[in-house]
Amino acid sequence: MADLTRRSFLTWTGVGALSLAAMTLAGCGPSGSGGRDGSVRFAWWGGADRQRAYLEGLDAFTAANPDIKVAPEFGDYDAYQERMTTQMAARDVPDVFWIPSPAVLTYRDAGLYRDLEGIDGLDLSAFGADQIESFRLGGELNTLPKSVFSPVVRYNATFLEEDGVTLPEQLSWDGLAELLVDYTKENGSGRVGTTYGPYHDMPFESFLRQRGEDLWTEDGRLGASVDGVAAWIDWWEKLRLAGATTTVSQQDGIEPSWAQVGDKVLLTFANSNHIVDDAQAFPDYTFDQRDVPAAEDAAAGYHFTYYSRFAMYSGVPDDRVESAAALMSFNLNSPELLGLVGLSAGAPPNASLLDAYEPDASPDEQKVITVTREIAGTEQRPRYEAPAGSGSWRDLMIRELEEVTLGQKSVPDAAAAFVEAVEGEIAGA
């Protein structure tokens, strides 16, 4: 990564005098899909380390495909979404792009995806027919998974040992709540059980699925009931009121910074890939992770693995489709790219690629692999993507949580307001 230069960046893009800063901040190529000189525009999000890793990976891609130039576009998650919204309006969308989880069906309904069925240069040979079937949206192969992850409980193994705590092999929601309250009272170090975390979307979805509900339905509606949302918020409120979570003030809002609170709690909820980056914030501690708690009467098939998707823009000219497909294949199948970017964005859906990578994976990446395989092997009923119009549902949840924690709204009222607001936004889309 240290050898990465501004010159090599500009070599990919073929933009000559166009500055790196302008490309990064504006994220815009020339009018219409495709960079200058017919280069393939590739857009993703992430922090500086991920950006550097992917830029180095693109060096490897262009070395193997000297006739294909790539124009990279990247930014942090929020900036990426804002830029995509602008580009959608201008029909100036990158040729290959990552898809934010709330926007999968929104982008589809906006006509951004190109049908990937039978495209020359797109190598899906690593995937079986059943697996490819699972990639489809509404029967159409118009996106592919770039990575796979699941909701987990991540815990500080160092704290467990220091404080003489053992997590039970079978962990229920009630059992975990009792453990966190007791830990907060008894550990003597000033640590608390967990962060205040009802904003965590994937654990929330698992909680609902255990109740036999779905966050989203097949016909594009909110599947969560008022009772289901209230039960989730109430579980967290009991912990907060018992002092077993960091306070909203301590964590500076509903969504805490891990770097700010990670050394103050025994465990937290997260996505299975988050351990790769988050553990680095506290190198003196060892972290591990496991499946989320399960209700004793949990509905069958509640587990799920989430596909984080990417796609080819529908407006890619026919003479550039094969080059865009080659770039997608590189993302799906390249051991060299995986070696550079690692598992911070999740495990690759290509099982043979993951098998080859595993011996060289870091200890924290090994933990990603272990829990990914464990959850992937469970019974899973169908899971549906967020419908168009629901993209702000997390913000709506945070708004209601703020009302609850400030004592301005009861849990049932907050749950009802959340359901009404989300349903209204979907209906108005």
Q: Report the b/e string of 119-146 with b at 16+ CB within 10 A.
A: beebebeebeeeeeeebebeeebbbbbb
Cβ contact 388:112 at 8 Å: no
State whether 97 and 173 are in the same domain.
no
**3-state DSSP helix/strand/coil percent for the chain, to nearest 5?**
45, 15, 40
DSSP assignment string, 110-167: TT-BPP-TT-TT---TTS-HHHHHHH-BTTB---EEEEEE-EEEEEEHHHHHHHT---
CA distance 9 to 181: 52
> In terms of domains, do 86 and 220 share one?
no
Residue 136 phi/psi, 5-degree rounding, is: -70, 150
pLDDT mean over 258-266: 95
Backbone angles phi, psi at 181, to 5 degrees: -65, -45
Measured CA to CA, the distance from residue 126 to residue 416 in angstroms comes to 45
For residues 243 and 133, membership in a common domain is answered with no
Instruction: Please indicate, yes or no, whether residues 269 and 413 belong to a single structural domain of this protein.
Output: yes
Asked whether residue 191 falls in the same domain as residue 44, the answer is: no
Burial of 256 (0-12, 13-18, 19+ CB in 10 A): buried
Q: Are 402 and 237 in contact (CB under 8 A)?
A: no
Residue 384 included in any domain: no
Domain that holds residue 251: 151-302+389-427
pLDDT of residue 35: 54
Identify which of 307, 316, 382, 395 has the alpha carbon closest to the alpha carbon of residue 348.
307
| Per-position DSSP letters for 246-291, written without gaps between them | --TTTTTSSS--HHHHTTSEEEEEEETTTHHHHGGG-TTS-EEEEE
Q: Is 379 inside a domain boundary?
A: no
Query: Counting every residue, how long is the chain?
Result: 429
pLDDT score, position 38? 76
Q: Please check whether residue 128 lies inside any domain of the structure.
A: yes
Give the phi and the psi of residue 311 in degrees, each rounded to 5: -150, 170
Residue 291: predicted pLDDT: 97
32 domain residue, yes or no: yes
Q: What percent of the chain has pLDDT over 70?
A: 91
Tell me the mean pLDDT in the region 388-395. 93
Does residue 343 share a domain with residue 243?
no
SS3 category, 218: coil
Phi first, then psi, for residue 40 (nearest 5°) are -90, 120
Q: What is the pLDDT of residues 134-180, one digit of tens each?
A: 999 999 999 999 999 999 999 999 999 999 999 999 999 999 999 99
Dist. CA 109–CA 135, nearest whole Å: 17
Question: Which amino acid appears at position 220 of this protein?
Answer: G
The region, left, alpha or beta by phi > 0 then psi within -120 to 50, assigned to residue 32 is: left
Q: Is residue 409 situated within a structural domain?
A: yes
For residues 15 and 114, membership in a common domain is answered with yes
Please return the burial class of 242, using the count of CB atoms within 10 Å of its CB with bins 0-12, 13-18 and 19+: middle
Is pLDDT at 12 greater than 60 in this prediction?
no
Q: How far is residue 102's CA from residue 384's CA, in Å, rounded to a whole number?
A: 11
Total domains present in the chain: 2
Indicate if the pLDDT at residue 11 is higher than 50.
Answer: no
Ramachandran angles phi, psi of 310, nearest 5°? -140, 165
* pLDDT at site 24: 37
The CA-based dihedral angle spanning residues 373, 377, 381, 387, taken in that order and rounded to the nearest 10 degrees: 10
Cα 112 from Cα 198, distance rounded (Å): 32
Confidence at 429, pLDDT banded by 50, 70, 90:
confident
Same domain, 194 and 248: yes
Whether residue 107 sits in one domain with residue 13? yes
| pLDDT tens-digit readout, 15-56 | 332 233 333 333 333 334 555 567 999 999 999 999 999 999
* 5-14, 43-52, 199-208, 236-245: range with lowest mean pLDDT: 5-14
Q: What is the 3-state secondary structure (H, E, C) of 74-116?
A: EECHHHHHHHHHHHHHHCCCCCEEECCHHHHHHHHHCCCECCC
Query: Quick check: is 272 in a domain?
Result: yes
Backbone angles phi, psi at 252, to 5 degrees: 55, 50
Give yes or no: residues 206 and 274 share one domain. Answer: yes
> Quick check: is 377 in a domain?
no
Is the domain of 110 the same as that of 164?
A: no
Asked whether residue 332 falls in the same domain as residue 351, the answer is yes
Pairing of strands 151-156, 265-271: antiparallel
Residue 317 pLDDT exceeds 50: yes
- Asked, for residue 375, whether it belongs to a domain, the answer is no
CATH number at residue 320: 3.40.190.10
Instruction: Tell me how far apart the alpha carbons of residues 27 and 375 are, in angstroms, rounded to a whole number.
Output: 36
Nearest to 295 by CA among 179, 196, 211, 383: 211
